Structure 1
């Protein structure tokens, strides 16, 4: 049995049932804290549902937001919880064909060709940064499942994620796993997940990634419709209010304030609130600036200070 398929069989029959992409009813009951959660044999029951091809393409995202109560597998207790400072080193493995198209622990569907992962305790769905310590490769994954439950393994990667980290042929690798924050329930094209990995390539700080991905993926509250429309319009003339440099967006108002202060020598710097996927965002912008040439000059100065995704916008309310 290869490393990625090391799942535990039921002790009640010769059939195999799985936790992870093959979450079974008894484990779902245990995680939900319903009756029967005290059972020590979570492998009794039936395998998780498999997506019916007749329904068309499997949906991406969805499911429910879930942490769950403590549960026991093979005499080992696991304690799911919100752990914003989670950062651990251990063994990463992967899972694929035997679990493909099965329902995950939070009700999503496992697609081995997407950048997802399973974790024993992390809240679902979450974003985590995983670094292969043997070759330096790294990726942001959507954690939407439970597992692995073998020895010192700390995360089970999808086939696609294992390919990107360059260890699928070996079955496992030494890795570092760091929690980033909650992933959106609705991500029908995994566009937000792709935006997160773009932020990783841009070396965006982890505490700013979700806010930046929200902007890149177009996730705003209803009160942002005028902002989106203004940004989609042609550049305004000086007579309509000038130009602004959209510097960055932050979930932490303290980070926004520090950025504002660091750019104060460039002129007027403002912090404008917005609604992101998981709460308020604080957009830092420089301006107003009189004309497009002045705005371009200011943009170069802002980017030179490390804000490489800064852009010129026409005036907005």
Structure 2
């Protein structure tokens, strides 16, 4: 029932008609237009949208004024949206992937980065805001399904959150920059320095990092594959997909990645209890490992990383 009440700015034509909105001149340029569906086979393209702020618009009698908001920092209710809008176009022309770390906001510039913190459990994530919404009750942000899972409120449907604007997101990021932003978040980098710090990660050469996806702090080991491989005649490569507190989620990830290579789930002890680490490998061929990495990212694991056998233990 919750999902039936949800609106997305690029797919609210039915809601707008039912609400009896006034003339189209008052709407956001994307509002009231049936959202195109990406029907091609294979993973959804990343990026490809446009920078968009937009003029003031009205939805169900409420006016919204998009604008640059460098100091935006608000507390409110977050909800999430997923299957109904999966593979449909967002308000800035990108394709909505419910397995990516994205969100919809009524007034922030598109695309942009925002830090969202679940005030009920302290978990935080950086999301790419590339859509308009939500337009229901007191909700201030609509998270993708994956984002809601990371903030651990998906089963409840909503949560009280704090939303902090970080800055404009790269237009055609293929996932590396967003993953770097979340790495900086885990490292405790201040918001005003996060963008610059992430640039160093996302534009450098391919790195090997023993970094688990999650909210605990792990030591990071960095080395260049070309130089590291000289220590081994036949190095083994792994794709470190992530660590999960829920074994069911780990098993689901293993099943999703079954076509990418051998996948294993290891139980580890974290600071707050057991964690279940998912990784693909071992693989002798670096090209095969890079392909498995791209497949893992495309399947909704933006923090997946290529690691060497000695760093995978």
The alignment's TM-score, normalised by the length of structure 2, stands at 0.60
Q: Following TM superposition, by how much is the alpha carbon of 1:151 offset from its aligned partner in structure 2, in angstroms?
A: 1.0
1:95-128 CA-to-partner distances (Å, cap 9, x unmatched) read 0000000000000000000000000000000000
Secondary structure of 1:20's aligned partner:
coil
- Conserved in 1, the CA contact under 8 Å of 2:12 and 2:31? no
1:242-269 CA-to-partner distances (Å, cap 9, x unmatched) read xxxxxxxxxxxxxxxxxxxxxxxxxxxx
Distance 1:124 1:96, change over 3 A: same
- 2:5 corresponds in structure 1 to 6
Secondary structure of 1:53's aligned partner:
coil
Higher-Rg structure is 1
In structure 1, list runs of 5 or more residues that go unmatched: 8-17, 28-34, 221-230, 235-317
Q: Following TM superposition, by how much is the alpha carbon of 1:19 offset from its aligned partner in structure 2, in angstroms?
A: 3.0
In structure 2, list runs of 5 or more residues that go unmatched: 17-22, 206-223, 228-313
- 2:194 corresponds in structure 1 to 209
Distance 1:208 1:171, change over 3 A: same
CA RMSD, 1 decimal: 2.7
Q: Is 2:95 aligned against 1:109?
A: yes
Tell me how far apart the structure 2 counterparts of residues 172 and 106 of structure 1 sit (CA, whole Å). 25
1:106-158 CA-to-partner distances (Å, cap 9, x unmatched) read 00000000000000000000000000000111000000000000111000000
Q: Is 2:5 aligned against 1:20?
A: no
Tell me how far apart the structure 2 counterparts of residues 126 and 39 of structure 1 sit (CA, whole Å). 21
- Conserved in 2, the CA contact under 8 Å of 1:5 and 1:95? no
Tell me how far apart the structure 2 counterparts of residues 163 and 26 of structure 1 sit (CA, whole Å). 27
Q: Give 1:260-279 correspondences, 5 Å limit.
A: none
- 1:278 corresponds in structure 2 to none
- 1:92 corresponds in structure 2 to 78
Distance 1:69 1:174, change over 3 A: same
Q: Following TM superposition, by how much is the alpha carbon of 1:233 offset from its aligned partner in structure 2, in angstroms?
A: 10
- 1:129 corresponds in structure 2 to 115
Secondary structure of 1:140's aligned partner:
strand
Q: Is 2:169 aligned against 1:171?
A: no
Tell me how far apart the structure 2 counterparts of residues 146 and 49 of structure 1 sit (CA, whole Å). 15
- 1:257 corresponds in structure 2 to none
- Conserved in 1, the CA contact under 8 Å of 2:68 and 2:109? yes
1:164-189 CA-to-partner distances (Å, cap 9, x unmatched) read 0000000000000000000000112x
- Conserved in 1, the CA contact under 8 Å of 2:10 and 2:31? no
Q: Following TM superposition, by how much is the alpha carbon of 1:218 offset from its aligned partner in structure 2, in angstroms?
A: 1.0
Tell me how far apart the structure 2 counterparts of residues 205 and 144 of structure 1 sit (CA, whole Å). 23
Secondary structure of 1:150's aligned partner:
coil
- 2:26 corresponds in structure 1 to 38
Q: Following TM superposition, by how much is the alpha carbon of 1:43 offset from its aligned partner in structure 2, in angstroms?
A: 6.7
- Conserved in 2, the CA contact under 8 Å of 1:67 and 1:81? yes
Tell me how far apart the structure 2 counterparts of residues 85 and 214 of structure 1 sit (CA, whole Å). 22
